[in-house]
Structure 1
Amino acid sequence: MSVAQSTGLAPLRLAAIVLFAAIVPAVLMTAPAVATQYALQLGLNPARIGQLLSAELAVMSLATLPAYYWQRRCDWRRVAQAAAVLFIVTNLASAWTADYGLLMSLRILSALGGGTLMVVCIASAASSRQPERVYGLWVSGQLILGAVGLWLLPPLFASYGLRALYLGLAALMLACLPLATALPPRAQPPAPRPGQQPVARSRLVGVCALLAVLLFYVGLSAVWTFIGSIASAAAIDPTSSGRILSVATLLGIAGSLCATFIGARWPRPLLLVAGYGLMALAVALLLGLPDLARFAVAALLFKYTWTFALPFILACVADMDPQGRLMNSVNLVIGGGLALGPVLAGPLLESSLGMNAVLLGSIACLALSLSVLLAVRAGAPSPSSVTAPSGARP
């Protein structure tokens, strides 16, 4: 049975969800290469580079807010088409812009279009019979395009400058634009599995589910943002740590693909406990001053388990959200968690508590996130605890 068949989504709809969600955050996924080119080509200082990249992340997340209005009133396909056109036009304009103020405005508009597309993709995936598989591909697409971008962009930048990035994004989005018609016109309830019972939901349950996602992202971003600092403090040379983190990207792709393969074959609570537990173990391995071998194991395990656990976390939220409104908020919560983690970790690093406090705080966030997620599932049946469709085993 193909992935599309097992998820209950039409192949074109699945392709639209994965491809749109991969293109939208490409600038952020290739931030190291892009930041270097901003400095070399435009002469921007680190503060302005940070402002450009932070603005894209912030606006992509804040695109959730207007979605609260249009999600129940507009055809999602029309919204996706308009957002994609906005993304294309602003990236084309960015390719010929050297003025910082104008570039900032264009990147904000591009992020608004991209964030709107991301909201549509996340909410559309929730209608799947096996959302963990769809979200596994959702994560994989972003990681794969980011890895390809980090490999291709440096030589392209040397020949064509920033135009290579912006024209490439516009071309990719233009090629995928016809897929917008494959998206659903409105939120759709998930395709039922045999024997599945209705799940009791409340506003409090939804808030707790979003809190679990927020804590997960705070815990991971606080560590991943400063993992290079951990290597430096442990006297691990930049070349070795850079190679380890490059390999970790491949492990991240493997983690999300494993989640896609497993889908609903195994009980979801077991997979969540395994993912969170191994991720916390990876953080614990970074305590103290790890040697090269311990640092490598920790970094590779952390990246693998992060992307392995995430699809199952999002699938849990999707189970509680037949109308797509909760998944709309997930886009905002993800951006908030990514921003909040470094904000909280930075002052701790500068205090007398140091890096160990950040790592212990991350473990606490992960433990609390898992506890909340399991608690909101405890009183209701879930797709992973009922008879699975043909081709999958419980």
Structure 2
Amino acid sequence: MKLFENYSLKDKLTLNNRIMMPPVVTRLATSEGHVTDALVDRYVLYAKGGAGLVVTEAVSVKKQKSGQLLRLNDDEFIPGLKKLTQTVHDESEAKIAPQIIHFLKISRSGYRQKVEDLTLEEIKEIPTLFAQAAERACRAGFDAVELHFAHSYTMSSFLSRHNHRTDEYGGSLKKRLRLAEEVVTASRKAVGDNFVLGARINGDEFTLGGNSLEQSSAIAVRLAELGLDYISVSAGGKFEDAIPKEGESLDPYTGYSGNRSMPPKWMPEKVNVYLAANIKKALMAAGYDTTVVTAGRIPTAQIAEGVLQNGEADLIAIARPILCDPYWPKKSKEGREDEILKCIYCNKCREAEGSFEEVTCIQWKKKDGIVQIPKS
């Protein structure tokens, strides 16, 4: 199967298959953003399970209050992350990358900072923050870096049609792209031309007045022009249609756009694949062979293989099924599908993340009070 063949990312990095474990929050970091043994164990599990590329949960580029969120805003975080990368490399053939993120303030009082609230000085520091974090990721032994340009966070919010700034960072698509261009340029300079640099974007925001494929395709082409090695296509996860709950911070994964970001069981399989397929067509039409990653309700290796054979994407991101059974890739490759603990897309893992609890699969059994993760 094509799914299990080696894949070269721009001749810079060779993966032993086309399966990506995309970012899934674990809530296993410390509240100060440091790596724990439990967090290392979780990512090593994904790596040993057979994913070709493991992308970590979001890693903050800025020092700010954020709960159990990994960080790369200071050199003090490099040793812990180096332990993570070394262990993954020592115990598996997988490659590993951090997803680096900048986010805006939000509080339980209902306050939510928007891109319109940022001063020019605050905006101007963002490319440097990303570049410094990317450079630290190199020193920590990561194989690639993914820029988080999707969902509800800062970079996606600048790219969005919901960005109503009236200066050079808002309004037309050209202006909304400005900050992303600066971040990519600064990050590329920091990591060098031979290091894999990718980004995750929204193929569609699925909000009234937000970006659709028309804008996302243009964004992808511009990012490819700037030299990104891959574009991982996600969707939704926006504040604009989030469902408010009294006494709780606004959650961007509670509305319809949130469902499109992590499609529940009542949505069709491959529900978001067409987004990646159309973006790939746009890239090819513009003359770029940038790697495209797709995600969203792809439960089996057979379905993933069909996506590859149809030329709809180059890599397949499998999140919740690998969380459910970390050995999904290994068992699928060996024809042991009947041994896979299958994801039921109930999104209880998402609920745990939203409650700042350790993220596990509700199907994992317990023995004497200890969680039993599926075996190889």
TM-score normalised per structure 2: 0.26
Greater share of residues in strand:
2
Asked which structure has the greater RCO (Cα within 8 Å, sep 6+), the reply is 1
Greater share of residues in helix:
1
Larger Rg: 1
